[in-house]
Amino acid sequence: MTRRTDSRIAEMSGATSLPRKSGELVFHDPWERRVFALAVALCEQGAYQWDDFRDRLIAEIAAAERSGGTADAPSPHPGYYEHWLAAFEKLLIEKGICAPEQINANSVEMVSNPMKADKK
Partner 1 sequence: MSTEHGHSHHDAKPDPRLEKHSTPEQTQALEARVKALESLLIAKGLVAPETLTKLAETYENDIGPMNGARVVARAWVDPAYKQRLLTHATAAIAELGFSGLQGEHMVVVENTPKVHNMVVCTLCSCYPWPVLGLPPVWYKSAPYRSRSVIDPRGVLREFGLELDESVEVRVWDSSAELRYLVLPERPSGTEHLSEEELVKLVTRDAMIGVVKVHA
> How far apart are the C-alpha atoms of 109 and 14, rounded to whole Å?
25
Q: Do residues 84 and 78 make contact, with C-beta atoms less than 8 angstroms apart?
A: no
User: Residues 99 to 118: which contact partner 1 by CB under 8 A?
Assistant: 102-104, 107, 110, 114, 117-118
Of 66, 71, 72, 101, the residue at the interface with partner 1 (CB under 8 A) is 71
Element (H, E) at 3: none
Of 8, 14, 29, 50, the residue at the interface with partner 1 (CB under 8 A) is 29
Of 24, 70, 72, 96, the residue at the interface with partner 1 (CB under 8 A) is 24
- Does 41 help bind partner 1 (rule: CB under 8 A)? yes
- Does 70 help bind partner 1 (rule: CB under 8 A)? no
Q: Where are the alpha helices (DSSP H) in 25-97?
A: 30-44, 50-67, 80-94
With contacts defined by CB under 8 A, name the span among 51-59, 62-70, 84-92 that binds partner 1. Answer: 84-92
Say which residues have a Cβ less than 8 Å from residue 84's Cβ, sequence separation at least 6. Answer: 32, 35, 36, 39, 57, 60
Q: Do residues 19 and 25 make contact, with C-beta atoms less than 8 angstroms apart?
A: yes
Site residues (vs partner 1, CB under 8 A): 2-5, 7, 9-11, 19-31, 33-38, 40-42, 44-45, 47, 71, 74-80, 82, 85, 88-89, 97-98, 102-104, 107, 110, 114, 117-118, 120
